[in-house]
Structure 1
């Protein structure tokens, strides 16, 4: 199975490189630092580093409180944060600047992984959420590097995918020192993949421990004052192709009853910024964008957030938040950020990426699920027009967020134990 896996990786690598080139035509950073994807880079002073891997923006945001805890507990150890996407890399720079080293994780090719570990020589590897790369895991065991999966989650879809190569995944998981699962459900799914009970601890979700920057709250208030405190405002965050038109049609429904309503829309991927702006204009909305106008004006009906790393500020400025990736089977995105800011949360039917958190939020009446795009406008309008309900939902959402904090401390205990061993 491992031989077949490696053969498939070598065969697919040229296709992956072509995809990177194609994406680079729309988003230039994909052309940069491509040698890092094969473990080749100018060797900084990384020997003995603590290494955290976070795939993209969402995982980097989740890892933020853990990375800061590592900085505080081990101030003299070099800290390396790897990502897969340019947007993830940019988010690392925004959050940590030059306090951490940032590289792309190499493809899971034996020679690339060997080169990467030879150049970095980490004392500890922390993989955030769901990333099972057999060659990387085997190489960590061979080099004696403790490997921790933190904030581990495993959706039903991912479980089915990994089950297709169950024997290889089982062997890879035996290389893991410990798995800090987000929930009991996630822990049970890792057991089905082959993890031993002794490897598993339920630690909760790191995202509950994320800081809410005062600057984001103040920025939200400032923007709100600029476009009018009394305006009804809702945000559609982390949207994908296939649901953005549903969002815009929902806003048309909202504006029929609330003509001064404002929609803030934040596409998930930067390469979609222009396409979303074009869609907004095609429906006749008065449009402004973050890059061209800075903030919405009094007459703006739809504001496209074509920037990265500013979502908290816009959540703080909104009355209601719809979290995207949930009207289509992407699995949903982080519902905790709006919850932390006392915002009622709306999601679609597909939330398997954050299953237990979403259910907790809905169960506490801090959020509401809509069946499809047709129901989105109705739900937004209902909440915007009912201030007591809106405020109660916001308080309930915040209570769910507060009740689940403490994951970082539990994961740091595991980190300390592994480093002492």
Structure 2
């Protein structure tokens, strides 16, 4: 009954949902394409049946899940893989990460007819959902067709738990449809159990986001970028930045240039529709800049604007310090582990709600520094760049923190294998 009312409300809101997608197309035109997939219509002749489906909401989940999915490809070479997502940026990341070795479609909107059509067309062997993308009709239709639904890298904050409790009948129905859940830690596991999940369905695997391997291929790309930036020192990077944050970081860099005239800021906006807008901001700040897409030789400017997708993990390796975006404004922050894996000090703003499963322990391990305002960033940058051993010590502790928490992919593969037999 709860799912019935949920579906009715969803249908009533559908004009607003579709309008939202259309309006997002003003900034990202790809949102106005492939709408048939949003309703579960799949060109099934081109998509292999009986595949393992991995659902990754957007870019962050795709990046985190890539090492896991590649390990599944190696472990089960005869099992086709489909990766679904919700956004065009997620689509682009899938293309870059897998180079055509997986299939990709959008996950349909959670209408009963759309999810039923989606499952009927693809007949998946298993659906693996990353993080906490809980869709009642998708889970219910999968259960009806005896398709295992596995929640991987699952986490549930106290705030989210309180929200799901407000719709307890619907939440309990979803919990009944989950076959297995691999939780970050015991606290997350306990929250899902409190929500109604059978405790026998829960295992604790840790977070796959820690399982970062800097391959030889990536190391070679980092070396090439360092060679292009050899004329600049010191170098700091601001990754996954948002509107309202870029302006503050450019002011910080202007202040840093007074002490370090040859300093370079690598600025990496979170969304591609921001590239040109950020370029205008840099010009307005009277800072010289080059675009990463047109950097063929060496960088001699004060700012390097990363206007390409999928290179953030490589660009972190070219810097001596990293600021993690989405944290000076109320966006909840982004993943600091890619930067920490390179052994460089990490700075974050006060807004880290999205990564409370990472930041508190990283801060405790002294591999990260937290500021309350952009004014404090300049003080830390000057300290890090003037005292080499101080920066190296911070970076070393961050890298050690990442290494100590690795191993989740191996445990997660075991969970998947259990339901593929």
1:179 is matched with 181
Judge conservation of contact 1:329–1:350 (CA < 8 Å) in 2: yes
2:137 is matched with 135
2:53 is matched with 51
Work out the CA distance in 1 between the residues paired with 2:272 and 2:150: 31
Residue-by-residue CA offset, 1:49-82 (whole Å, 9 max, x unaligned): 1111001111011111221121122111111110
Judge conservation of contact 1:216–1:316 (CA < 8 Å) in 2: no
TM-score by length of 1: 0.95
2:363 is matched with 362
Residues 228-247 of structure 1 aligned to structure 2 (within 5 Å): 228=230, 231-247=233-249
2:379 is matched with 378
**SS of match in other structure, 2:105:** strand
Residue-by-residue CA offset, 1:322-348 (whole Å, 9 max, x unaligned): 111112222211111011111111111
Judge conservation of contact 1:46–1:119 (CA < 8 Å) in 2: no
1:96 is matched with 98
Judge conservation of contact 1:180–1:202 (CA < 8 Å) in 2: yes
**SS of match in other structure, 1:81:** strand
Residue-by-residue CA offset, 1:12-62 (whole Å, 9 max, x unaligned): 222222222222233222222121111112103432111110011110111
Judge conservation of contact 1:132–1:169 (CA < 8 Å) in 2: no
Once the two structures are TM-superposed, the CA of residue 294 in structure 1 deviates from its matched residue by: 5.0
Once the two structures are TM-superposed, the CA of residue 230 in structure 1 deviates from its matched residue by: 5.8
Judge conservation of contact 2:345–2:398 (CA < 8 Å) in 1: yes
The 3 A distance-change label for structure 1 pair 274 and 159 is farther
Once the two structures are TM-superposed, the CA of residue 292 in structure 1 deviates from its matched residue by: 3.8
Work out the CA distance in 2 between the residues paired with 1:10 and 1:274: 37
Work out the CA distance in 1 between the residues paired with 2:372 and 2:200: 40
Please identify, of 103-112 and 201-210, the stretch whose mean Cα deviation from structure 2 is larger: 201-210
**SS of match in other structure, 2:124:** coil
The answer as to 2:400 corresponding to 1:399 is yes
Judge conservation of contact 2:237–2:321 (CA < 8 Å) in 1: yes
Work out the CA distance in 1 between the residues paired with 2:194 and 2:298: 49
The 3 A distance-change label for structure 1 pair 310 and 203 is same
**SS of match in other structure, 1:322:** strand
Superposition RMSD in Å: 1.7
Please identify, of 222-231 and 107-116, the stretch whose mean Cα deviation from structure 2 is larger: 222-231
Please identify, of 11-20 and 52-61, the stretch whose mean Cα deviation from structure 2 is larger: 11-20
The 3 A distance-change label for structure 1 pair 6 and 270 is same
**SS of match in other structure, 2:290:** strand
Counterpart of 2:85 (choices 74, 77, 83) is 83
Count of paired positions: 419
Once the two structures are TM-superposed, the CA of residue 155 in structure 1 deviates from its matched residue by: 3.0
The 3 A distance-change label for structure 1 pair 249 and 188 is farther
Work out the CA distance in 1 between the residues paired with 2:161 and 2:371: 26
Once the two structures are TM-superposed, the CA of residue 121 in structure 1 deviates from its matched residue by: 0.6
2:255 is matched with 253
2:328 is matched with 327
Residues 3-402 of structure 1 aligned to structure 2 (within 5 Å): 3-43=4-44, 44-228=46-230, 231-293=233-295, 297-298=299-300, 300-402=301-403
Judge conservation of contact 2:236–2:320 (CA < 8 Å) in 1: yes
The 3 A distance-change label for structure 1 pair 362 and 294 is farther
Once the two structures are TM-superposed, the CA of residue 316 in structure 1 deviates from its matched residue by: 0.8
Judge conservation of contact 2:84–2:106 (CA < 8 Å) in 1: yes
Work out the CA distance in 2 between the residues paired with 1:307 and 1:202: 36
The 3 A distance-change label for structure 1 pair 270 and 157 is farther
Judge conservation of contact 2:47–2:103 (CA < 8 Å) in 1: no
Residue-by-residue CA offset, 1:212-260 (whole Å, 9 max, x unaligned): 2323322222222333266101001011122222211211221121121
Work out the CA distance in 1 between the residues paired with 2:407 and 2:395: 21
Judge conservation of contact 1:64–1:210 (CA < 8 Å) in 2: no
Please identify, of 193-202 and 275-284, the stretch whose mean Cα deviation from structure 2 is larger: 193-202
Work out the CA distance in 2 between the residues paired with 1:332 and 1:219: 26
Work out the CA distance in 2 between the residues paired with 1:416 and 1:51: 14
Judge conservation of contact 1:56–1:85 (CA < 8 Å) in 2: yes
Judge conservation of contact 2:232–2:299 (CA < 8 Å) in 1: no
**SS of match in other structure, 1:98:** coil
Judge conservation of contact 1:315–1:321 (CA < 8 Å) in 2: yes
Judge conservation of contact 2:232–2:262 (CA < 8 Å) in 1: no
Work out the CA distance in 2 between the residues paired with 1:207 and 1:217: 19
Please identify, of 94-103 and 26-35, the stretch whose mean Cα deviation from structure 2 is larger: 26-35
Judge conservation of contact 1:155–1:353 (CA < 8 Å) in 2: no
